[in-house]
Structures are given as structure tokens and as C-alpha cells.
Chains A and B, each alone.
Chain A
Amino acid sequence: MQETLILDTTLREGEQAPLVHFSVNQAVELAGQIDHSGVDFIEVSPIVGEKQRQAAKEILAQELRATVVLHCRARKEDVESLLPMDPKFIAMFLSTSDLHLSSKLHISRESALSRAVEMVEFAKSHGLKLRFTCEDATRTDRAYLLEMVRAVSSAGADRISITDTVGMMMPALMFSLVKEVRAATGAGIDLHCHNDLGMALANSLAGIEAGADCIHASVNGAGERAGIPKIAEVAMALQVLYGQRKDIDIGALAALSEKFSRISGLPTDPFAPVVGKNVFTHKGGTHLAAVLRHGSSYEAYSPESVGKRRRLVVGGYSGRNVLHYLSETLGMKMTDAQVEKALLRLKEKERDLFDFAL
């Protein structure tokens, strides 16, 4: 399997989350830090407003290592509005499901198909590389979706994005869908999976196993509704489960998570993989005993890999092992009787008293 690409869309999808707004300076600074982490694409959305357009201009001027993708609708005026920015890569989206075509766009399948081809050809005529996004792809009639994929590929689309817009896929279904899309096009395949049922990362990885080569993610998973995969968990999953993307600096992604929380005022979920406050914190007595001997006893990846430290909680759930450890490490020379008495007092508390880093 080839190395999976990662597209960060914090500045586009992420800013569509409630309460999330980036100033131009914040967007430019975030783009620089996202780039530093080693991702492949950074998506921005200049068509939203003047602020986003200015941010996109300044981000393009930074000449980042990652490819900056300008996101727009599959409309001529949108593509034309991007041309003065001298983009190298754009992404245009068009709904493909009958539900969206009838209730949102009020056009037929045939009209959507011809519009898609026309817009791809228009962008290509200006020398642009582009991704064509089939919005609501997973709820689209399969035969029509494949017809659309073949048509925009023939028109010159460099990449196709398969979107699980409302997050209703399951990994096995995503695998079979992407297998068919893979057979229908030679273009790169992106996966944009929403997390409404908590399946976004699993669906993305299933799609990768079926032949897609790029996962969309954002810092802390920010996005519409339940969001999309968290970029730190995507990178860690690729490293731990597939042995890929060792070049991604996950410590930098953890720092980005904290920065995003500060800017947005949205705290990071303590249970969030990789970046959550609790990820390397152990509490149960048997867990502490095992972790004190071998850190990996209860960890999928080391805290050092994320630039963090392992923590232990002492309180009502503790056993005598942690007390012996504290006694020996701090040179307290507690007798067995003193340890037993301390243990009884911990149990009496029936709650957590303190935690500490190893």
C-alpha cells in the first residue's frame, strides 16, 4: 500500500463548526503550523468572504511545503474568482445524490453531469490541477456516481473526492464503494467522511484499504455537526496500524490541538485519541501495577511519541503497588503496615485524590 496522503481542512471545514472563526493572522499562523506537521494538502475557502480570501492570498504567498487547495463550488463564477489568486490546485464540489439534486440544486442528474464536466474542462483550460468532490456521494445512486466519476476523470480531474456527507457509512460499505470508484478512474481518490455516527476514521481507513489515497481531517475534528476525523488520530492510526507516515510530527499536531482550543474556546475532549488529557493517564489498581512495570501494558502508543508524559491517578481505585512505588521512589521507606494503613485511607476516600506525571 502506498503512503496515504493527508489533507487538513481546519481552515475550511473546521471554520464551518459553530463558534469557530479565524482572523486572517490566525489562519495564516495555523496554516504555517499545519504545514510544519508534514501534511500534504491544506484546504482553504476564499469564496466564503473577504477575510477568507485575504487569508488564502497570504497563505499562498507563504509558499508552504504542502499544496494549498482552494475550495469552491462547481460554478464558473467561483472558479473565475479564484484565477487572480494564481492557484495551483483547486477543489470544486457538486452534489450528486438525488436528494441534494432535487431539494438543494433543483437540477436533474443529466444537468449535474454536464455542469460537472463543463466546470472541470473550464478549470483545466486555465492550467489548474483540481479535485472534483462528489458531495453526498455515499447516498448517491451507485451507477450514477460511477458515471459522474468516469465523466469528470475523462474531463481531466486529477483527484476525485468521495464524501460521506452525513456520516452514515460503515467500513465494509465504504470499502466496496471505493473499490468500484477505484476501478472507474485513474485519478487520485480523496475521502471526506463525517463523524455523525463516530465512524469517520474507520470509514476513511476502509476506503484507503480499497484503493483511495488521501484522507481529509481537521484539528480536533472540527467541522459541520459532529465533524470529521481528527488529524492527530488519522496520523497516529496510519503510523501505528499501517506503519505509514512516520514523517508526520504528531507532537506538532498535539500542539495544534491546544492552539485550536485556545483560539476557538472549544475545549479538547479529554477522551480524544492522541491529544486528549486522559490518553496517557492510568487509574485502576491493576493498570497502575502493570504500567509501572511496562508502560505499553495499557497503551497503544507511547506518550513520548506525542511529546507528553504518562500520568497516574492516586485515590480510591489505587492498590498497594502504587504506594510501594511512591515509597521507594521518594525514599520514604514505608513499612508494610504503613502501606496497608495508607491503602485503607485511600479506599475510605472513594474518590481521586491527586495525579502525577512519571
Chain B
Amino acid sequence: MQNGISVFIGAVTDEKTRTSDVVRAIRAIREVKTIYELTGSLDLLILAQSDSIKEINNLIEAVRACEGVRETTTYLVLEATENK
């Protein structure tokens, strides 16, 4: 059993803001583990983990508050399977 919650946050960014600046701002959030830059309907996919749902909720708000983030969608991880 995994301790804590993992979520993916999909983000669409503002075309006027440099993606690297958005990534830099999101990296400052402690619970964020990995930021993927994507093509397609999502610009960023952010993996975040925390022991507490309150902290997860706060970090989602923090991502939304980053300059250049236009909208987000959250996906809860039920289980992760590594292919070793």
C-alpha cells in the first residue's frame, strides 16, 4: 500500500508566457515530483505526491495560481505499476 496521495495535474498554459518560466514557478512547489512538457491538448503534466489531502489541495491551488497557467484538470492515481 502506498502512503499518501498521488495526482497528475494536467495544465494548459497561456501562449504569452514562456513555458520555462511556468515550469520554474511550478518546480518551487514542494510536493511536485515531476513536470512533463507535452504536445497536444495539455501543455504540462505534473506529478505530485503528499501524505495529506489538504496539502494536495493546496498544491493544486498553487499550480493554478502560477502565472501563465490558464486551466488545470486533476487526475487521482489509484495505482502505479512500474515496468522494470
A: which residues have CB within 8 A of B? Answer: 309, 313-315, 326-327, 329-332, 342, 345-346, 349, 351-358
Cβ A313 vs Cβ B1 within 8 A: yes
Cβ A357 vs Cβ B2 within 8 A: no
Kindly list chain B residues whose C-beta atoms are within 8 Å of the C-beta of A313.
1
Kindly list chain B residues whose C-beta atoms are within 8 Å of the C-beta of A342.
78
Contact with A along B1-45 (1 / 0, CB 8 A): 111111100000000000000000000000000000000000000
CB distance from B38 to the nearest CB of A (A): 19
Cβ A330 vs Cβ B53 within 8 A: yes
Closest Cβ neighbor of B75 among chain A residues = A332
Closest Cβ neighbor of A326 among chain B residues = B76
Kindly list chain B residues whose C-beta atoms are within 8 Å of the C-beta of A351.
1
Partner among B1, B2, B74 whose Cβ is within 8 Å of the Cβ of A330: B74
Interface size on B, residues (CB 8 A): 22
Docked CA distance A351–B79 (Å): 11
**Would you call B46 an interface residue if the criterion is a C-beta within 8 Å of the partner chain's C-beta atoms?**
no
**Would you call B54 an interface residue if the criterion is a C-beta within 8 Å of the partner chain's C-beta atoms?**
yes
Pairs across A and B, CB under 8 Å, 15 listed: A313-B1, A327-B76, A330-B56, A330-B76, A349-B78, A354-B3, A354-B4, A354-B78, A355-B4, A356-B5, A356-B50, A356-B51, A357-B51, A357-B52, A358-B53
Cβ A355 vs Cβ B53 within 8 A: no
**Would you call B69 an interface residue if the criterion is a C-beta within 8 Å of the partner chain's C-beta atoms?**
no
Q: A315-B1, A332-B76, A345-B78 are in contact. Are A356 and B60 (CB under 8 A)?
A: no
Closest Cβ neighbor of B55 among chain A residues = A357
Cβ A353 vs Cβ B75 within 8 A: no
Partner among B1, B73, B77 whose Cβ is within 8 Å of the Cβ of A355: B1
